[in-house]
């Protein structure tokens, strides 16, 4: 997906979370390990909720910020959404699932940090920082839950 505007970035982020949720749900159906299956269920629900949260930014954001261009997007290659559906979460261990999901979240964060560092328009910068903060907060929440699950 070509990310040319902040609106496209939000849509891309929403799609990443939706595709990830779908891949996690598919893995849950065939996962044999109960603890890993519970993790997949939790992560799938969380990713679905996060997709809705991100979509809300399109409705609430300043139109000037949404339609600004993300000129430097080509320098940073965003995660390919189509590859998320190819993940074999059903055969992964608890730790491998968590590691993969966190890697996806880290790539999203890296893209946001990259764009924040190049943003000169105040409305665009504010929106990018809000999106980044949501991603950071949700990733920290995921991390806490995953660590609790490891302790079981």
Residue 61 pLDDT? 83
Residue 30 lies in a domain: yes
Q: What is the number of structural domains in the chain?
A: 1
Per-residue pLDDT reduced to its tens digit, 85-136:
567 899 999 999 999 999 999 989 988 998 898 888 888 889 999 999 999 9
pLDDT range class, residue 36, cuts 50, 70, 90? very high
**Domain of 29: which CATH number?**
1.20.1260
Residue 108 lies in a domain: yes
CA distances (Å), origin 104, targets 58, 100, 108? 22, 6, 6
What residue numbers bound the domain in which 109 lies? 6-151
Residue 42 lies in a domain: yes
Residue 1 lies in a domain: no
Residue 99 pLDDT? 93
What pTM, to 2 d.p., does this model score?
0.88
């Amino acid at each position: 997906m070509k990310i040319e505007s902040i609106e496209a970035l939000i849509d891309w982020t929403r799609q990443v979370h939706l595709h990830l949720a779908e891949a996690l749900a598919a893995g849950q159906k065939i996962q044999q390990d109960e603890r890993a299956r519970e993790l997949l269920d939790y992560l799938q629900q969380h990713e679905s909720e996060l997709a809705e949260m991100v979509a809300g930014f399109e409705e609430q954001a300043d139109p000037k910020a949404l339609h600004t261009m993300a000129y430097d997007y080509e320098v940073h290659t965003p995660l390919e959404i189509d590859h998320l559906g190819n993940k074999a979460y059903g055969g992964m261990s608890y730790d491998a699932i968590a590691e993969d999901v966190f890697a996806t979240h880290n790539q999203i964060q890296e893209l946001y940090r990259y764009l924040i560092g190049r943003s000169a328009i105040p409305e665009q910068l504010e929106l990018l920082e809000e999106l980044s903060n949501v991603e950071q907060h949700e990733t920290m929440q995921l991390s806490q839950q995953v660590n609790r699950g490891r302790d079981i």
